[in-house]
Structure 1
Amino acid sequence: MTSTPSRLLVSGFVLSIILSLPAAARQPVASGSGGAVATISEQASQSALRILNQGGNAVDAAVAAAATLGVTDPFSCGIGGGGFMVVYLAKDKRVITIDHREMAPAATRADRFLEQGKPIDFEEAVASGLSVGVPGTVRGWDEALQRYGSMSFKQVLAPAIEVASKGFPVGPHFAALSGDKLEKFARFSSTRALYLPNGKPIPAGTLFRNPDMAKAYRAIAAGGVKAFYSGPLAKAIVDAVQHPPVVAGKLARAGDMQLADLANYEARIRQPVHTSYRGYDIYGMPLPGSGAITLGLALNLLEGYDLKALPRAQAEHLYIEAARLAFADRNAYLADPEYVDAPVEGLLSKAYAAQRRQAISLQQAAGALSAGDPFAFQKDPSYPLRPASAKRLQAEGMHTTHLVVSDKDGNVVSYTYTIEDWGGSGIVVPGWGFILNNEMTDFDFSAPHPNVPEAGKRPRSSMTPTIAFKDGKPAFAIGSPGGATIITTVLQTMVNYIDLGMDMPAAVAAPRISARNSATPEVEPGFSSSPAGRALEAFGHRWAERPSEIGIVNAIVFNPDGTVTAVAEPKRAGGGTALVQKAGH
C-alpha cells in the first residue's frame, strides 16, 4: 500500500522557528570568502551551504541544492525532469558540461503530436503521458557526483529528505502557482491529492510536507542511480505515463514510454561552447542547448559597438536588435547534435557576426528578420547541404530553475534544470511525490524542422547556464529560468554588467526586455509606460507586455581581491537567497 501523498500541517511553533531565521539567511546579496550559493529558495541555499560546511565541493553542494529545489520549487524542477550543468574544475583549469536533458522514448515518431496532419491542441499535449520525456536528472546527478563530486547520494540528499519530511512554509509564489495550474492539477488524482487538498490550492503560510518525495530520495540514497531507472520506482513512472492517473470524468492521452527507455537513458559529457566578449571568455552548454550559441552570436554582434559610449536607450536598442538576429538563426538551425548537423562554427564566427551586423540599424527597429547563412563560415568542406526552411516554431514553456555554487577551492557550478511547463505534465507519480516533465512539447510539432520529435532525441533547450572568465580566472557565473526568455535574460544581464556599468545586483534587478525575433519584444509589467520604454519607442519599438516577470537570475561574482559576491533575484518570484560560507564585514 502506498502512503497518502498529501501531508499538510499548520504548526505555529514550527512555522515561527522557520520564519524567525535571521534576515541574512534570506538576503538576495551576500559577500565574503569561501564557498557561495545563490538559488530561488532559502532552503535550497541552506542545503548547499550545509554540504559546503561539511567539506563537500561545489558539485556536491549543487546536487544538494537541486534536490531541495525539487521539494520547495516542485512546479519548476525535480527528478521527473532533466537539466544542463556547467562545471569549472579549478585543479584542472577546465570547463566540462553534463547534458542530462530528457530524451524521447524509443517509440517516438516525427508525427507524435499530429492528427490528420495537424498539430493537436498544445495544452492537451502538455497534460498527458504523451508529453513526458525520459527523465535525466538522477542520471545527471550521478555522473556529476561520480566524476567530479566527493560525496555520496546518501550525504547530498540528506538535506532535501529532511525538508520533504519535516516540511517548509508555503510562500505566496508556491501558492499562486498551484492555483494557476488548477485545471491541469485537478485532472490527475495523485496531483490533486498532493497540491490541491480539498480541491483548493495550498494557502501561503501552510507547513507543507511531501513524505512520498522523501521516500523517493531515500530509495536513491540507498540504491543509487539504479533505484530510479529500474525497479519499483521506474515501474511507477512507466505506469503513470502509459496510464495517466486521471480522476473520474477527465481524460489525458497515454504515452508510450517503456522500462527499457529508462534503463537505457544516458547522460552526456560534452565539450562546452566557448566564445569571447570584451576580454571575457564565455563558456556554456553545447547543443541540444541553444542558449550558449545564441548568446555567443548576440554578443559577437554587440561587440561591434561601443555600448558604453552610447546613450542608454540606443545601447538597449542594439541589445534588442542583436537578440532578434540571433534568435532568427537559433530558430532555423539548432537541435540535438546527434541528429542534426548544426552550423555551430559558422554561427559563432566573428566574421559571420560582422556580416549579420549589417542588418542592424543604429536608429530603427527592424521587426522580424529572416535567418542568415552561416554555412559559408563553417570552414568544413565536408559539411552537408543547407537544410529545408523551417516551419513556424512551437511555443516553449517558461519555467525552470537555476542555481550557482562555488567552493573554497575555486570550483564553480552553473546549473539549470527543469520539468518544462509550470507543473510539467501535471502528473505526480503515485506513491513517489514528484511531477513528471512535459519536455516532449519542446519539440516542434510540424516538419520540416531540425527540432522535430525522433526516437531517442533530446529536444532543443534554451537553458543557458554560463561561466565567464577574465585573465584565465572565473569572473562570474550566471543563469536563469524562463523558457526562451532565458537567453535574453542572461544576455541583457551581462550587457547591463559588462557594458552599462551596473554592479551585478543592479544588473539582475533591472527591468527586462525579451526580443526573440517577433515584431513586438516582450517586456515586464509597467515597462512600456516607463521613461525607458518610451525612449525606446523613438527607435520604432512596440511592446508586448507580459502579465508576469521575465526570468529569475542567480549569479556569483568572483571579485579581484579573492572574495565572492552571491546574487539572487531580489523580488521576482518572491526573491531568492544568496549565502557565503564566511560573510564579509
Structure 2
Amino acid sequence: MTRARPVRTRWWTLLVALGLTAATLVAAPDAEARTRPVRQPVAVGSGGAVATVDPEASAIGLDVLARGGNAVDAAVASAAALGVTEPYSAGIGGGGFFVFYEAATGEVHTLDGRETAPAAMRVDSFAPGGSALPFAEAVTSGLSVGVPGTPATWEEALERWGTITMNRALAGSIQLARRGFEVDETFRSQTESNADRFADFPATRELFLPDGEAPAVGTRFRNPDLADTYRLIAREGADAITTGPVAEDIVETVQQPPVDPAADRVVRPGLMTTADLAAYEVVEREPTVSDYRGLEVYGMGPPSSGGTTVGEALNVLERFDLSAMDRTQALHHYLEASAIAFADRNRYVGDPASVDVPVEELLSDGFAAERACLVEPDAVLPRPVAPGSPDGSYTGCPDGGIPGGESPEGPSTTHLTTADRWGNVVSYTLTIESTGGSGIVVPGRGFLLNNELTDFSFTDTQGGDDPNLPGPGKRPRSSMSPTIVLRDGEPWLALGSPGGATIITTVLQTLVNRVDLGQDLPTALAAPRASQRNGTTQAEPGFETAELQALGHTFTPTAELGAAAAVELLGDGRFQAVAEPTRRGGGSARVVEED
C-alpha cells in the first residue's frame, strides 16, 4: 500500500531571516546580457541536461545547472519559468507530481503536490439535485478550483534535495516576467481559443487580451503582477500564497468570481476558504515500480493513475515479444494493453486517503498474466473492456465487472525533465488542468486559477463504487505520469508529457518505441502517436491505421497527442536531452556542454 507523510521543513526561511538571500549567495543572471534562447529538439553533451516545451524555461534551468545547481534546483527554476511562458498550462495556481532520483542514495522519491478539494466539497457538489453540471460550466467557475500545491512542491523539493534558496530559484523567472518573452503561435492560438471566456473576467482580459484581442506573434508579453507575486514567494516561501493578502485574494476570487457584470456567462462560486489554503500539505508517497524487460520503471502513485496504468500496461506487454512482431502486431498489442489498463484505472484508482487503491495487486505479475490472456493477435477486445479483479487470486480470464466510464480530463499541463553531473534526475509534471485553467486570473496577482476539481467524477460512473467522486479535502485522480527508468540500478531514461488522460499513452508508447521497437530516443518521442483509453482510439496524422483497422480497431483523427520532454543518460557522463520537434510548436532540449 502507499505510504504517505506530510513534508514540513523550513530551513531556507532561516537563511532569509539571516540576510543570506539568493542575491548574496549566488548572483542572479543578467537578463539583458543573456543570449536569446534556442528552440531545438535534441542536445547531446555533458554537465547536465534540461528538456521542456519552452526555450526560455530550458535556458533558465540550464543557467542554474551551469552555475553549480543540481537537477532539483534546475527543475524548480524551469517550472517557475513555465509559469510565465506557459500560463495556460501550469503555474502557481495549480499543482503537480515531482519524481526524483537521488544519486547519493540510489532511491527514487516522489512528492504529491496535487490540488485538494475544499473542506466544504461534497459528493454531489458537481451534481446538484442529482444532475451533473454541464462540463464547460463547471470548468469556468470558482467551484472547479482546487487548493493549489505548486509553490509548496517547489519549496519542499528545494528544502529536501536542492542546493539553492527559493529566492535564487525564482530569480530568472522574476526577470523573465518583467522583461517579457516573445509571443509564438502556440501562445497566440491558445489565447485566441480562450478569448470568449477570458473576455468575461476583467482581470483575465486585461492581462491576456490587450486591446481586446490575443497578442500578435512576435510581440513581447510581460506580466509584472506575476513578477511581484514571485518576489513574495521568493521571500516568504509557499506561505506567501497560503496565508496573508495573496491567500485572501485567492479566496475572494474563488468565492466571488470577478465576472464582468455585462457578461451573460453563468459562473458558479467556489467553496475554498483561507483555512483550506493554510491547511495544504505536500505529501511524500511511495513511487510505483514495475520491472519491464530488465528495467525498473518508476512512476507516481495515487492519486495519480499514471504510475499504476503505465506499469500495468507494461506488465501486460511483457508477456509478449514485441520486438519479434511486425509493426501492426506490436501496435495492436500496445493498444489492447492500454485499453485493459485504463479499464482497471477507472475502476480502482482514486485518492488513497479516501479509497483503498490496490496498488500492489494492480502492478502484480499475477494480475498482469490474467489480464494479458484477454489479448488476441487477430481481434480487438470489445470496448469498453470491463475491469479485472486485482484480488490476489489469479487463475485465468474471468469475466470482468461493470464497464467503466471516464471523467473528462483537460488536454493541457506541461512537463520538464532535468539531470545533473552528479547523476540526480527529476521528472516533473505540473498543471492547471484545462488549457487556461478556470479562466479566472486572481486580480493584481498575475496568475490563473486551476480547474482541477473537474477531474473528479461528477456522478458515479462505476455502478455504485466510483473511487473518484468528490469529497472534503480529497485529491482528484490524475493522469500525470512523470517517469524515471533505471537500468542495472542506475538512471537511464526520464520522461513525461502533458495531455490529460493521453499523458499515460504518450509515456507508454514512447517507452515501447524505445525499448521494444529499437528506436533511438529522438525517433521514439517524435513518432506519430495513437491513444487508446478503453474506447475509440485517437490517432495523429502519420500514424498508419489501415492494417490495424483490418483487425477491428477504430480511429478518430486528432491534430496532436502530448508534448513530451525526456533525458537519456548515455552512461559516460553524457546526456541526450530530447523535446518535441513540432508538437506544441516544438520544445527545447539543452545540455550544459554540447558535444
| Shorter-chain TM-score range | over 0.9
1:48 aligns with 2:61: yes
For residues 388 and 445 of structure 1, the distance between their equivalents in structure 2, rounded to whole angstroms, comes to 21
Aligned partner of 1:489 in structure 2 is: 506
For residues 45 and 240 of structure 1, the distance between their equivalents in structure 2, rounded to whole angstroms, comes to 32
Alpha-carbon deviation of 1:393? 2.5
Aligned partner of 2:446 in structure 1 is: 433
Aligned partner of 1:565 in structure 2 is: 576
Alpha-carbon deviation of 1:561? 2.8
What pairs up with 1:208-223 in 2 under 5 angstroms? 208-223=221-236
Aligned residues of 2:386 and 2:404 also touching (Cα < 8 A): no
Match of 1:523 among 522, 539, 552: 539
For residues 113 and 184 of structure 1, the distance between their equivalents in structure 2, rounded to whole angstroms, comes to 20
Aligned residues of 1:346 and 1:377 also touching (Cα < 8 A): no
For residues 361 and 301 of structure 2, the distance between their equivalents in structure 1, rounded to whole angstroms, comes to 14
1:353 aligns with 2:365: no
* TM-score normalised by L of structure 2: 0.91
Aligned residues of 2:386 and 2:402 also touching (Cα < 8 A): no
Aligned partner of 2:592 in structure 1 is: 581
Aligned with 1:399: secondary structure? coil
What pairs up with 1:130-149 in 2 under 5 angstroms? 130-149=143-162
Aligned partner of 2:322 in structure 1 is: 307
Alpha-carbon deviation of 1:224? 1.8
For residues 429 and 110 of structure 1, the distance between their equivalents in structure 2, rounded to whole angstroms, comes to 27
For residues 396 and 438 of structure 1, the distance between their equivalents in structure 2, rounded to whole angstroms, comes to 10
What pairs up with 1:192-271 in 2 under 5 angstroms? 192-250=205-263, 251-271=266-286
Aligned partner of 1:7 in structure 2 is: none
Amino acid at match of 2:249: A
Q: 1:377 to 1:504 in 2, by over 3 A?
A: farther
Aligned partner of 2:8 in structure 1 is: none
Alpha-carbon deviation of 1:394? 1.8
Aligned partner of 2:127 in structure 1 is: 114
Aligned partner of 1:329 in structure 2 is: 344
Encode CA deviations 1:446-499: one digit per residue, 9 max, x unaligned: 134110000000000000000000001101000000000000000000000000
Alpha-carbon deviation of 1:343? 1.4
1:513 aligns with 2:530: yes
Aligned residues of 1:391 and 1:446 also touching (Cα < 8 A): no
Alpha-carbon deviation of 1:198? 2.2
Amino acid at match of 2:346: N
Tell which deviates more after alignment, 197-206 or 209-218.
197-206
For residues 393 and 361 of structure 2, the distance between their equivalents in structure 1, rounded to whole angstroms, comes to 4
Query: Alignment RMSD, CA only?
Result: 1.7
Tell which deviates more after alignment, 430-439 or 107-116.
107-116
Aligned with 2:413: secondary structure? strand
1:442 aligns with 2:455: yes
For residues 560 and 114 of structure 1, the distance between their equivalents in structure 2, rounded to whole angstroms, comes to 53
Match of 2:546 among 526, 530, 534: 534
What pairs up with 1:73-84 in 2 under 5 angstroms? 73-84=86-97
Alpha-carbon deviation of 1:562? 2.9
For residues 248 and 540 of structure 2, the distance between their equivalents in structure 1, rounded to whole angstroms, comes to 43
Alpha-carbon deviation of 1:535? 2.0
Aligned residues of 2:387 and 2:401 also touching (Cα < 8 A): no
Encode CA deviations 1:217-273: one digit per residue, 9 max, x unaligned: 001111222111111111110011011110122231100110000000000011111
Match of 1:374 among 347, 371, 390: 390
Provide structure 2 residue ranges, at least 5 long, that are not aligned to the other structure.
1-30, 395-399
Aligned with 1:374: secondary structure? coil
Aligned partner of 2:15 in structure 1 is: none
* TM-score normalised by L of structure 1: 0.92
Aligned partner of 1:175 in structure 2 is: 188
Aligned residues of 1:273 and 1:285 also touching (Cα < 8 A): yes
Amino acid at match of 1:490: V
Aligned partner of 2:406 in structure 1 is: 393
Aligned residues of 2:334 and 2:509 also touching (Cα < 8 A): yes
Alpha-carbon deviation of 1:16? 12
For residues 181 and 566 of structure 2, the distance between their equivalents in structure 1, rounded to whole angstroms, comes to 24
Alpha-carbon deviation of 1:367? 3.0
Alpha-carbon deviation of 1:391? 6.0
For residues 359 and 399 of structure 1, the distance between their equivalents in structure 2, rounded to whole angstroms, comes to 33
Aligned partner of 1:498 in structure 2 is: 515
Aligned residues of 1:390 and 1:450 also touching (Cα < 8 A): no
For residues 236 and 491 of structure 2, the distance between their equivalents in structure 1, rounded to whole angstroms, comes to 36
Encode CA deviations 1:281-319: one digit per residue, 9 max, x unaligned: 011101001001000110011001111111111100100
Encode CA deviations 1:64-109: one digit per residue, 9 max, x unaligned: 0000000000000000000000001100110000000000001000
Q: 1:187 to 1:289 in 2, by over 3 A?
A: same
Q: Percent identity?
A: 52
Figure out how many residues of one structure are paired with residues of the other and give that number.
553
Aligned residues of 2:361 and 2:391 also touching (Cα < 8 A): yes
Tell which deviates more after alignment, 186-195 or 259-268.
186-195
Match of 2:481 among 464, 474, 478: 464
For residues 346 and 128 of structure 1, the distance between their equivalents in structure 2, rounded to whole angstroms, comes to 38
Aligned residues of 1:288 and 1:459 also touching (Cα < 8 A): yes
Aligned with 2:551: secondary structure? coil
Aligned partner of 1:551 in structure 2 is: 562
Aligned with 1:320: secondary structure? helix
For residues 115 and 287 of structure 1, the distance between their equivalents in structure 2, rounded to whole angstroms, comes to 27
